[in-house]
Structure 1
Amino acid sequence: MTLDQRDTQRMALLKLKQKAQVTIPADLRRQFNLEEGDYLEAEATENGILLKPVSVVERPQTWQEKRAAMGPVQDLNPESDLTPREKEEQIAEWVKKARRDHAARRP
C-alpha cells in the first residue's frame, strides 16, 4: 500500500460521549450520504465494531404501497388454489428472497 492509499483510507477517531453517543465525521457522512435520523447497523467483527448504513421501511406503509401497486395486476392463472392473501404472501416471500440475494452479492 502506498502512502497516498493510506492517507485516503485513514481512520477517524471517535469519542464515546454521554449516553454512548458518537459523532461520525462530516467527510464520512457526506461520503455515505448520511443524515440525521438515518439508521446504521452495528456488527461485531474480529477487528472491532463495523457500522453499516441500512434502510428501514415501516411495514404498514409498505403493505399499503404493495397493495396499491398490485391493484391493476390481473391473475393470468385462474386455476390457482391460492387465496388473494396467500398470493400476496407468496409475492412478499419472492421479494424477501430477491433482497437477500441482492444483499449477498454486495461486497
Structure 2
Amino acid sequence: MTLVKLRKSAQLTLPTEIREALKLAEGDYLEAEIVQGGVLLRPVDVVRREAAWDDLVELVETPKWRTPPTESPEEEEALIFKMVEEARHSRD
C-alpha cells in the first residue's frame, strides 16, 4: 500500500505505479466515493459519456418515421386522379 499526502487545495498526487497500472494521464477524471473507512477512486471514461450524449442527441433529432420520396407534382396529380377514379368506380 502506498502512502499519499494531501496537499494544498486538497490535491493528491497518485504514484506512478498506480497511474501506469490504470493507464491514467493528466486531465483524466476519477470518480470519488466514500466507502467504509476511506475513499475509493475509480477512473471514469468521459469520452464514452460524450459519445453517448452525441448518440442521444442524434436519436432525438432524427425523425421517428420517414416519408417515402416525394414524387413530382405531375406524378402526385396522376396518383390522386387514379385514386379518385377507383373510389368512384367502387361506389357503383
Bin for the TM-score computed over the shorter chain: 0.5 to 0.7
Equivalent in the alignment of 2:55 = 63
Question: Of the two structures, which has the highest relative contact order with CA contacts closer than 8 Å and spacing of 6 or more?
Answer: 2
List gaps (5 residues or longer) in structure 2. Answer: 66-92
Equivalent in the alignment of 1:12 = 2
Equivalent in the alignment of 2:64 = 84
RMSD (Å) for aligned C-alpha atoms: 3.1
Distance in 1, matches of 2:54 and 2:7, equals: 35
Change (3 A) 1:28 1:60: closer
Change (3 A) 1:44 1:61: closer
Structure 1, residues 72-96: CA drift from partner, whole Å, max 9, x if none?
Answer: xxxxxxxxxxx629xxxxxxxxxxx
Matched, 1:22 2:7: no
Equivalent in the alignment of 1:52 = 42
Change (3 A) 1:47 1:60: closer
Moved over 4 A (4+): none
Equivalent in the alignment of 1:32 = 22
Q: What does residue range 90-101 of structure 1 map to in structure 2 within 5 Å?
A: none
Number of residue pairs aligned between Structure 1 and Structure 2: 61
Q: Which is greater in Rg?
A: 2
TM-score (norm 1): 0.47
1:63 CA displacement: 3.0
Identity %: 42
**1:41 aligned partner, one-letter code:** E
TM-score (norm 2): 0.54
